[in-house]
Structure 1
Amino acid sequence: MRRRHFEALRPVCPACRRAFLALEPGAEGADDAIRSGVLGCDACGGRVPILAGVPVLVPDLAGWLSAHLPLVLESDIDAAAAEAVVAAAMGPDSAFAIARQQQSSYAHDHYGDLFAEDAASAPGGVRRCQDEALRRLGPRPGPVLDIGCAVGRTSFDLAAAGDGPVLGIDLNWPLLRIGRGVLDRGLVRYPLRRLGNRYDRREARFAPPGAGRVDFWVADALALPFADDTFGLVTAFNVLDCVPDPGRLVAEIGRVAAPGAGIALATPLDWASHATPASAWLDSPDAFEAMVARTSREAPGAKPLMPAAPALDLPWAVRLHDNATVTYRTRLLTLTAA
């Protein structure tokens, strides 16, 4: 966790949301980077850990740790050969195998252009979507929030496009630690699935411009741990159909966006019942736009979000393995907070 981001963004307690968090004595790190420690809340007495440089700012800390702590511990498996042995022993249906597949798909789209063999498959769907959003919104002053940043390339691109602090947030530890590797070691490293249980290792030195203004935190998009009117730009690419309450996501974005802030939302409306209950599914792009307009007017604490440009459909390819790529059509909304 970068001290400058903590001090500039002043996160609030994710449990009670009544007070700002304070860094307790005994935190470990060097210069601007805090590697481990505890953030405490004076209002409710809640405490959250900083693990491997990442604060875990979620309302249900026990639930997140139950699901993710084994994956946090597995982060120490650096050797490709050891990783392959662990994957074979755990089997294709294990949490480790699922996380590995996610790392492969997301990291290929974010960083595949760095590897000549992979660049031919035209990765970068999320980056092209973000580029179009930034072109439509133009520059906006203030901190930037990248919701659902995954492996982090979008956060680095946002830093290169502006001059304020950029914070990428996600709940998925195996994805977040790939972006964390760029911050901590200047190294992109991820497994690329070939076929079956066979993976290649992708690894490259990478020093994106503006990386010193980027940080990555674990946080819940439906309970953003920030005060109202904090950010000048908020992005959420293909997040809306991955949360249990899409309307609450829109309301939270409107709450933390400052007046005049730019907002970019994109989604293929690819619903799954394990992520979003069927009662909350939106069955058309028009329904998506109507929900955003209605929620931004009616939700407590939100503010009206006005279209900055007409909605746009963009292709977005997700590589699963050598023989399978799924191409989505994602709807991009660019908005301005009233």
Structure 2
Amino acid sequence: AYPIIDGAPILVPDLAGWLAANGHLLLQRHELPDPVEAVVAAALGPDAAFNVIRTQQASYAYDHYGDLEEDGGTPAAFGPPPGNAVPGNCAPPTPTPPQPGAVRRTLAAALAQLPATTGPVLDIGCAVGRTAFDLAAASPGLVLGLDLNWPLLAIGRGILDRAVLSYPHRRLGMHFERRRHAVSFPGGERVDFWIADALALPFRGQTFDLAMALNVIDCVSAPPRLIAEMARVLRPGGGAAIATPFDWSSQVTPPDAWVDGPAALETLLAEVAAQARQAGVGALVQSGPARDLDWHVRLHDRAAMHYAVHLLTASLD
């Protein structure tokens, strides 16, 4: 038996282990009143899980949904502060504001290189869910968004269940603002979000027409297994997209499993394909040219990280 939390089934091989690691997140899944949230956050401190989660939610939600803000997602704080004095009469620095939508632009670039689909689509590592809604708008089939991170997935589920986007928006330091929007996306009735493991997809083989893994492969413990799982659940002729900034962490992926750059990723794809052919199953083969895209991650009003994300598309032969 697998539990369902706020509409999201938890479909992982080690259910007890996942619940033990994430139970505290499930218990705090309901929003606190804004003043109470601020008091709790200040008392716990910036390194507490409560605030680490809010910071992560803020970065992901801004990129996925920042275009819905009145300012189009561009914070007024970027640019020189009024009256800023710089030694030597130099012009004050003007940081480039991070534009939201990097994940959506990467998805659009991938879809432009993949065949149109009418069947079900899998969005692996969907985070807060905007790409799943974009996939539903671009195709007539069911779209399933999967992620192991419940605090991120809960933002997407809130849109499905209440037609409300709600997320913490980080301004500076410990100062957050709760952003809420009534939203409805085309095809949203065909979207669902599940808690599931990218390395143990809970589906029989040859189920999906399309599988996306945008900035996921450097977030799993076994990159070859992710590629193999994507191939397993795709129908013959199905398409796949893998995007990554190669931003590895030894806390997630053993260093000897790191994929060191675009050429190594293409080599890995070919190696997994060769193993699949030896086993007599479908193999993912690169389709179309690989490319690099800009990806900004907003941290707060005055800080952002800039990645060069490598996008590779493939088809199941």
Aligned to 1:86: 40
Alpha-carbon displacement from aligned partner over 1:231-287 (angstroms, at most 9, x marks no partner): 000000000000010010000000001101010110010001111110101112100
Aligned to 2:70: 116
* Superposition pairs of residues 137-152 of structure 1, within 5 angstroms: 137-152=114-129
Aligned to 2:212: 235
Q: In 2, Cα distance between the equivalents of 1:215 and 1:181? A: 11
Q: In 1, Cα distance between the equivalents of 2:59 and 2:265? A: 26
Aligned to 1:298: 275
Q: Which runs of 5+ in 2 are unaligned?
A: 75-97
Q: How far off its partner does 1:301 sit?
A: 7.3
Q: In 2, Cα distance between the equivalents of 1:50 and 1:243? A: 24
Aligned to 1:322: 301
Rate the CA distance shift 1:155–1:180 in 2: closer, same or farther, 3 A: same
Alpha-carbon displacement from aligned partner over 1:125-160 (angstroms, at most 9, x marks no partner): 000000011111131231100000000000000000
Aligned to 1:51: 5
Aligned to 1:276: 253
Instruction: State which drifts further: 249-258 or 118-127.
Output: 118-127
Q: In 1, Cα distance between the equivalents of 2:138 and 2:150? A: 26
Question: Which one-letter code corresponds to 2:19 in the other structure?
Answer: L
Q: Which runs of 5+ in 1 are unaligned?
A: 1-46
Secondary structure, counterpart of 1:137 in structure 2: coil
The alignment of Structure 1 onto Structure 2 pairs a total of residues equal to 292
Q: So what's the TM-score if we normalise by structure 2?
A: 0.89
CA contact (8 A) 1:297 1:303 kept: no
Question: Which one-letter code corresponds to 1:322 in the other structure?
Answer: D
Q: So what's the TM-score if we normalise by structure 1?
A: 0.84
Over the aligned positions, Cα root-mean-square deviation in angstroms equals 1.2
Alpha-carbon displacement from aligned partner over 1:57-77 (angstroms, at most 9, x marks no partner): 001111111121111111112
Aligned to 1:29: none
Rate the CA distance shift 1:330–1:61 in 2: closer, same or farther, 3 A: same
Q: In 2, Cα distance between the equivalents of 1:115 and 1:277? A: 39
Q: In 1, Cα distance between the equivalents of 2:12 and 2:43? A: 32
* Superposition pairs of residues 250-265 of structure 1, within 5 angstroms: 250-265=227-242
CA contact (8 A) 1:251 1:301 kept: no
Aligned to 1:213: 190
Q: In 2, Cα distance between the equivalents of 1:329 and 1:316? A: 6
Aligned to 2:136: 159
Q: In 1, Cα distance between the equivalents of 2:115 and 2:39? A: 48
Question: Which one-letter code corresponds to 1:185 in the other structure?
Answer: R
Question: Which one-letter code corresponds to 1:329 in the other structure?
Answer: A
CA contact (8 A) 2:62 2:73 kept: no
Q: In 2, Cα distance between the equivalents of 1:326 and 1:92? A: 19
Q: How far off its partner does 1:119 sit?
A: 2.2
Larger Rg: 2
Aligned to 1:267: 244
Aligned to 1:5: none
CA contact (8 A) 1:251 1:302 kept: no
Aligned to 1:99: 53
Q: In 1, Cα distance between the equivalents of 2:242 and 2:269? A: 10
Q: Which runs of 4+ in 1 moved over 6 A?
A: none
